[in-house]
């Protein structure tokens, strides 16, 4: 608004200057005893137009002053509303009542952290190095400042820390399991504070709190609302960062159409949420052993298709773990997967098979004997079962409900999701 007022003042001064120059020219050319001589009526139109311009500028100036007064009053009203809201701000009151706000770092301490951060980021030492391409100044080291505060708190108070956040970037999370902090963070935390460190998103934290603490009882509706809000925030972040959130629909339907010739009429499909990025994965089962199946996921604007065995998968919803069990003719396999940076990776693979001798011999109970392997290391049956339970808790898992659909039906389901 200040720029508009300033420009208006400049225009008024220019108009006055223009008016003076027109008057001077008229006087010079209307003197009968000097040459060149012009009839003064020649200036009538231009003088009338100049007066009309002056009237318009005067009216415009009045309108601008009125607008300035209106905006000034609105600003004062908003300021008063904000001031009053501080007196009844329930969120601020809750923070003051239930949280302890720590001491901030001095400027010299921040500069020291920035100096350390410059080296850490150049070596890709977590946390925060991915902010280097998005932020400027001391903002670049915001995550590292937070990390230093967590370390200080744990060291001074001799306490372990649960860090509740919705961080998704790999400068915090293990690229093999995005539910765990980076190994470097765990090692640094233990080395400085000699305590344990966890990272949980809000929905998981509330769920675990509801399970562990007897005096906390959150309804399923509350937990569901938190999950939904978390997913909505992820959608907003995807839009604001330029990623195309709904691109997964087009990518999945394109894949289905491109594979239509190898898609039997009884193909099974299931949209599931294996990880918690808000975008569903599509599990496909072609119902034929030789064709197998596929699992589609969408990350950072691109789709990835990982081919799996026939039969669907078990998955732990939004914990980024799924498992497939398969086998035949004396050889069986359990494979535990995760999705990292848009790619399906194998976390663990176990197998068991008939021993050569057991094909003709049996144990004392007349049962076949097997040899067991976990991540290519031979183990006992008991060790195998312990490793499998540690890697994937089937009691917490859901099985994919593979509903047979034709191509048009599953595409309609995807597009209306």
Residue 210 phi, psi dihedral angles, 5° rounding: -65, -30
Residue 281 has pLDDT above 90, yes or no: yes
Q: What is the pLDDT of residue 242?
A: 45
Q: How far is CA 364 from CA 352, 353, 356, 382, 388, in A?
A: 20, 19, 17, 19, 27
Average pLDDT, rounded, for the chain? 81
Structure-token pair, residue 332: 């069986």
For residue 100, is the peptide bond before it cis, meaning its omega torsion is within 30 degrees of 0?
no
pLDDT in tens, 348-372: 999 988 875 444 444 455 556 789 9
DSSP H or E segment with residue 290: none
Rg of the chain over Cα atoms, rounded to whole angstroms, equals 35
Q: Is the pTM of this model over 0.85?
A: no
Q: What is the pLDDT of residue 358?
A: 45
Q: 410: Cβ–Cβ under 8 A, 6 or more apart, which residues?
A: 256, 269
pLDDT in tens, 115-148: 999 999 999 999 999 888 778 888 899 999 999 9
DSSP H or E segment with residue 127: none
Region 173-179: mean pLDDT is: 68
Q: What is the pLDDT of residue 221?
A: 76
Cα of 190 vs its chain's centroid, Å: 28
308 and 324 in contact (C-beta within 8 Å)?
Answer: yes
Residue 244 has pLDDT above 50, yes or no: no
276 and 315 in contact (C-beta within 8 Å)?
Answer: no
Q: Which residue would you say has higher pLDDT here, 211 or 199?
A: 199
> Rounded to whole angstroms, how far apart are CA atoms 298 and 193?
39
Residue 389 pLDDT level (bands cut at 50, 70, 90): very high
For strands 281-285 and 293-299, give the pairing.
antiparallel
Angle at 79 between CA 73 and CA 85, to 5 degrees: 140
Q: Which residue has the tokens 């569901």?
A: 224
- Per mean pLDDT, which of 88-97, 172-181, 223-232 is the most reliable? 88-97
Domain spans in the chain, listed from the N-terminal domain onward: 2-96, 107-200, 247-415
Q: Which residue would you say has higher pLDDT here, 52 or 145?
A: 145
By residue count, the chain amounts to: 417
pLDDT in tens, 75-103: 888 888 877 776 777 777 778 888 888 88
Structure-token pair, residue 105: 């770092």
pLDDT in tens, 335-346: 999 998 889 999
Structure-token pair, residue 257: 């159409």
DSSP codes joined into one string, 74-95: HHHHHHHHHHHHHHT-HHHHHH
Looking at the chain, the whole-number percentage of residues with pLDDT higher than 70 is 81
Q: What is the pLDDT of residue 236?
A: 53
The Cβ of residue 168 has, within 10 Å, a number of other Cβ atoms equal to 14
Residue 232 has pLDDT above 70, yes or no: no
């Amino acid at each position: 608004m200040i720029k508009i007022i300033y420009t208006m003042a400049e225009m008024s001064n220019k108009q006055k200057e223009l008016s003076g120059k027109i008057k001077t020219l008229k006087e010079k050319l209307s003197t009968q005893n000097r040459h060149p001589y012009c009839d003064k009526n020649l200036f009538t139109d231009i003088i009338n137009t100049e007066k009309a311009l002056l009237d318009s500028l005067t009216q415009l100036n009045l309108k601008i002053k009125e607008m300035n007064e209106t905006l000034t009053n609105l600003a004062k009203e908003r300021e008063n509303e904000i001031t009053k809201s501080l007196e009844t701000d329930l969120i601020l009151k809750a923070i003051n009542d239930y949280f302890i706000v720590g001491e901030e770092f001095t400027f010299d301490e921040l500069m020291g952290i920035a100096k350390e951060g410059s080296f850490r980021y150049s070596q890709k030492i977590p946390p925060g190095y991915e902010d280097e391409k998005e932020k400027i100044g001391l903002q670049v080291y915001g995550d590292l400042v937070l990390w230093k505060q967590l370390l200080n708190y744990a060291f001074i108070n001799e306490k372990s820390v649960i860090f509740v956040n919705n961080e998704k970037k790999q400068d915090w999370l293990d690229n093999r399991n995005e539910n765990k902090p980076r190994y470097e963070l765990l090692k640094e935390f233990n080395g400085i504070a000699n305590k344990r460190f966890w990272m949980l998103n809000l929905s998981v934290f509330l769920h675990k709190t509801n399970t562990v603490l007897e005096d906390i009882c959150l309804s399923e509706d509350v937990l569901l609302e938190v999950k939904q809000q978390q997913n909505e925030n992820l959608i907003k972040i995807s839009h604001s960062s330029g990623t195309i959130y709904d691109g997964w629909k087009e990518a999945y339907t394109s894949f289905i159409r491109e594979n239509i010739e190898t898609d039997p009429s009884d193909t099974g499909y299931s949209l599931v949420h294996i990880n918690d990025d808000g975008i569903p994965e599509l599990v496909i089962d072609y119902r034929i052993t030789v064709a197998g199946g596929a699992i589609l996921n969408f990350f950072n604007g691109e789709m990835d298709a990982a081919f799996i065995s026939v039969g669907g998968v078990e998955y732990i919803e939004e914990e980024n773990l799924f498992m497939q069990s398969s086998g035949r003719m004396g050889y069986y396999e359990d494979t535990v997967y995760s999705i990292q940076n848009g790619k399906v990776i194998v976390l663990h693979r176990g197998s068991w098979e008939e021993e050569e001798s057991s094909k003709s011999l049996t144990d004392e109970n007349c049962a076949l004997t097997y040899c067991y392997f976990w991540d290519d290391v031979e183990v006992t049956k008991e060790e195998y079962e312990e490793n499998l339970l540690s890697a994937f808790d089937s009691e917490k898992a859901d099985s994919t409900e593979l509903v047979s659909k034709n191509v048009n039906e599953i595409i309609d389901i995807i597009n209306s999701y």
